[in-house]
Amino acid sequence: MMSVLQIRRSEKDILQSRAAEIQREIQLGERKIFSEVLDLSSGDLHAGGIKPITFVRQVLAACSYPALLEDQSLPSDVRRRAEDLLKECEGGSVGSYSESSGMVKIRECVCEFISRRDGGVSSSPDNIFISTGSQTALMKLLTVLIRPEDSCRTGVLVPEPGYATFRLALQAQRAAIIPYQLCEDQGWTLHIQELRRALQGATHTCTPAAIYICNPGNPTGHIQSRTSIEEVIRFAAEEKLFILADEVYQDCVFADDAEFVSYKKVLSEMESPISSTVELASFHSASKGFMGECGLRGGYVELVNVDPAVQKYIQTLFSTRSCPPVPGQIALQLMADPPKPGDPSFPAFTKEVQSIRHVVCRNVRQIQEVCRELPGVRCQPLKAGFFVYPRLQIPPKAIKWAKEHQMKADMLYCMRLLEEEGLHVRPGCEYGQAEDTYHIRLFVGTQADTMEAALQRLKTFHTRFLEDFS
Amino acid sequence: MSENGCEYHERVLTVDTMNPNIRQVEYAVRGPIVQRAVQIDKELEMGIKKPFTEVIKANIGDCHAMGQKPITFFRQVLALCSYPDLLEDNKFPVDAKSRAHRILQACGGGSLGAYSTSQGIEMIRQDVARYIERRDGGIACDPDNIYLSTGASDAIVTMLKLMVSGEGTSRTGVMISIPQYPLYSAALAELGAVQINYYLDEDNCWSLDINELRRALQEAKKHCSPRALCIINPGNPTGQVQSRQCIEDVIRFAAEENLFLMSDEVYQDNVYADGCKFYSFKKVLFEMGPEYSSKVELASFHSTSKCYMGECGFRGGYMEVVNLDPEVKVQLTKLVSVRLCPPVPGQALLDVVVNPPQPDEPSYDTFIKERSDILAALAEKANMTQDILNQVPGIKCNPVQGAMYTFPRIHLPPKAILKAKENGQSPDMFYCMKLLEETGICLVPGSGFGQREGTYHFRMTILPLKDKLKIVLAKIKDFHHIFTEQYS
């Protein structure tokens, strides 16, 4: 069997299984000090108790069951939007296949969204490939980039800390992972010297071909400055690297002093030949932001400066999987073209979006406050994204205990937190971190009372944990 | 060297630097002929005059696109799941509401928008397991062996990924029928696995011959390490429905030769011919007794895209794995986690498909009627298609026993074959392109599916509405006559 996936179970799996087990035990009446497991482990708004956007769901319902187009209780803009979308579907049904890269009208809409976002930089539907979540598009790009040789593997620069599922994808494709460290003390910024160091160390063991960036960052919550993005682009140009820019958190910017700028925009404003030659794939999805429609699997990749001959092959590769799920395509269209002022649904829509933003910002403030209170916890300011990623000062006795039990100290922390307080968060060891540093990742997108309860449990636990291992 | 006046810049990603396997990937169902059909569509829209007024896309197994209506009950449940406020709406029947309510309770935060576990929502896997048990006369199904997927294709490729390893003569070989559904050849190309062709017997209704399997395997052992045997039943593009005996023979063969069986059963409800019946590989395997049922490794695939549902756009599907090595199962579970989870609307749809209205429920009558009408229409069109095509001199069509396609053999005059070769086209592509340009009918040439050397075919769906299908068949008949004359 081909797989180079580690046989060892991941921390995520272990915690997830145990959390589910505990939840079942509670349901069966086993006495626990808590009545339910609180889940701050996954970047999933709806699982966190945030309600879906009404407009989105009304349109989805009307598309699924067109009899609702006659239903006067649905706002007229909902019905009109559903009607327009159904016109684009073969046979007027969302059950038909679409083009393999997604319905052309939806891709055009996504282009307009991108153009508006980037202050007018043009975008073509031929360069947009809608996919079953952005992760699938990312995997397809990897399939194209990564040569299957074992003798000199294709290398991809990957941030630490970085999104764990992506690392798994790289392993499954037999790529060589070239980690580069983000600088925690400066707010998880990316330093070119570090990229150079990482690349230098790798050139003899693999053929570096791409650099993966997550901006805004997961788990770090940092957002790259325009200067930083330019530096990375120049670096990619010099070192001949394909840029994979994972920008799924672009609509989750919280800090007042932070602004998301896309790789594409920065690239377009740089001088020739860089602007017309550096190859870039930008990923976005309807899973994050205020829509949080993870389960609908609506994502896309925009290809910039990619060789047209290669792009044709990418098109064929997409075609072998038929097409992306139509509900996901609809979610993307609605994200790209939400209700506007004057539309009947606009007031309710705006209110819902603002309320979500408000809850999340409040959660972020509360988490950061608690981090400041608790001894041995240090948190970089959260600028964007869905997670807070505090660093923990873990007592030496705990580190020793963890080592004796073949686990990292932050995994020990998370396991005990789950067992003793029913709070599920992720340990930093899953994302890659500097030696002897420990972190936990907390999701910020839950209902207000869930967050309050979670933070209460965290405080209680943390104090006890420090005492137990003093 | 300069390009557009700028200094020539060598790209990072070129056809030479990219994964070389990608060059071999083709998928005829959406290939060059379809691209030309789309172009012609646009030309028609622009008012360019053609000998026809519309392009008829008989290339792809998409029921709704060709006018088949969705099942009302399924869409009601999906609407209720999408927008749960509708659960208060009296216009929806109680049985749809109860299903929607139950599904939503199994979703994170009660929403289709939450991630599910990578293997798929547990409750739905349990429901699928019960469906399989009912279908297979009570043979046990463990929900933990069910993996929900993004259509059947996702699961098929995942299993192939697990199996492919080795290099040179130890490279994994996978047996696949010729003709086959080109997802298999595309996936094997992408993974750099060795494709081992076994020919279905055209003279015998496209049946599977064990001797041919043996021949193909012996040949293959010289240059690769055969690991799996894929079978599509009912068949695509051929439409044959394998007999029970044949399925037993295949299982015995797989047991003897230590091959992993992959059984693609997405057309399991599409059986039309008298004397034909769908037998699931799982059922037959277990009825052959523990000598086989405890040993033979099997993955069976199903989806919501075909049968009577035709819900391709929702990408709902599952696979059931049997006798998988526990360590391999761990790897499988890990592999599927990379793509996070299958689309939840597709999972919800699958749940209603395996939990349709029961006789005592309000939606039952409508549901049964809609389902029967669809399957009856398909059966009628299958028969009509084979009858009409068999009347055309130079076209020979095997009975369309099941699935959604006909794969007739076409006799092409030598001059046409020559002309095609001059154009650098396979002869049936040449034929189909001409057909498209002259009649607007889009079919897929047999070369896209594989066929015996020196034979030519096309695949046409039987999905256009009956009256339109009659017209299509008449046009093909006329075209074939003219084409044959033209190149005599």
Q: Measured between alpha carbons, how far is B246 from B243 in angstroms, rounded to an integer?
A: 5
Interface of A with B in 59-78 (CB under 8 A): 60-62, 64-65, 67-68, 71, 73
For an interface test with A, the pick among B15, B18, B41 (most A C-beta atoms closer than 10 Å) comes out as: B18
Distance between B109 CA and the closest CA of chain A, angstroms: 4
The reply to whether residue A133 touches residue B339, judged by beta carbons under 8 angstroms, is: yes
B403 has a pLDDT exceeding 50: yes
- The pLDDT of residue A151: 80
The burial of B427, by beta-carbon neighbours within 10 Å (0-12 exposed, 13-18 middle, 19 or more buried), is given as: buried
User: Chain B within 8 Å of A295 (Cβ-Cβ)?
Assistant: yes
User: Chain B within 8 Å of A100 (Cβ-Cβ)?
Assistant: yes
Token digits for A41? 């482990």
Distance between B9 CA and the closest CA of chain A, angstroms: 7
Of A294, A309, A320, the CB nearest to B115: A294
pLDDT in tens, B24-82: 999 999 999 999 999 999 999 999 999 999 999 999 999 999 999 999 999 999 999 99
Q: Using a CB cutoff of 8 Å and minimum separation of 24, what contacts does B357-365 make?
A: B357/B73, B357/B95, B361/B95, B362/B93, B362/B94, B362/B95, B363/B72, B363/B73, B363/B76, B363/B93, B363/B95, B363/B96
- The pLDDT of residue A8: 65
Q: Please state, rounded to an integer, the average pLDDT across all residues of chain B.
A: 96
Distance between A170 CA and the closest CA of chain B, angstroms: 10
Minimum CA–CA partner of B19 in chain A: A147
Q: Measured between alpha carbons, how far is B261 from B248 in angstroms, rounded to an integer?
A: 12
Cα distances (Å, whole numbers) of residue B186 to A99, B32, B322, B449: 18, 15, 25, 11
pTM: 0.96
pLDDT classification of A30: cutoffs 50, 70, 90: confident
User: Chain B within 8 Å of A130 (Cβ-Cβ)?
Assistant: no
Write the single-letter amino acid at B322: V
The reply to whether residue B345 touches residue A327, judged by beta carbons under 8 angstroms, is: yes
Percent of chain B with pLDDT over 70: 98
Write the single-letter amino acid at B365: D
User: Chain B within 8 Å of A48 (Cβ-Cβ)?
Assistant: yes
The reply to whether residue A326 touches residue B113, judged by beta carbons under 8 angstroms, is: no
Minimum CA–CA partner of A281 in chain B: B13
Minimum CA–CA partner of B157 in chain A: A321
pLDDT in tens, A348-378: 999 999 999 999 999 999 999 999 999 999 9
The reply to whether residue B346 touches residue A325, judged by beta carbons under 8 angstroms, is: yes
pLDDT classification of A31: cutoffs 50, 70, 90: confident
Mean pLDDT to the nearest integer, B408-425: 96
User: Chain B within 8 Å of A327 (Cβ-Cβ)?
Assistant: yes
- The pLDDT of residue B10: 82
Mean pLDDT to the nearest integer, A286-293: 96
Minimum CA–CA partner of B345 in chain A: A296
DSSP for residue A105:
H
What is the count of residue pairs from A and B with beta carbons less than 8 Å apart? 272
Token digits for B417? 């074959």
Of B12, B80, B312, the CB nearest to A97: B312
Q: Where are the alpha helices (DSSP H) in B66-164?
A: 72-82, 94-105, 122-135, 151-163
pLDDT in tens, B204-247: 999 999 999 999 999 999 999 999 999 999 999 999 999 999 99
Q: Measured between alpha carbons, how far is A400 from A406 in angstroms, rounded to an integer?
A: 10
Distance between B238 CA and the closest CA of chain A, angstroms: 19
Tell how far CA A311 is from the center of its chain: 25
Mean pLDDT to the nearest integer, B360-374: 98
pLDDT in tens, A227-257: 999 999 999 999 999 999 999 999 999 888 8
For the beta sheet containing B405-406, the strands, ordered from the edge strand earlier in sequence to the opposite edge, are B405-406, B458-461, B444-445
User: Chain B within 8 Å of A165 (Cβ-Cβ)?
Assistant: yes
Token digits for A373? 């209170």
A6 has a pLDDT exceeding 90: no
Name the β-bridge partners of B396.
Answer: B409
Choose among B173, B231, B175, B174: nearest CA to B206: B231
Tell me how crowded residue B20 is: count the other CB atoms within 10 A of its CB: 13
The burial of A30, by beta-carbon neighbours within 10 Å (0-12 exposed, 13-18 middle, 19 or more buried), is given as: exposed
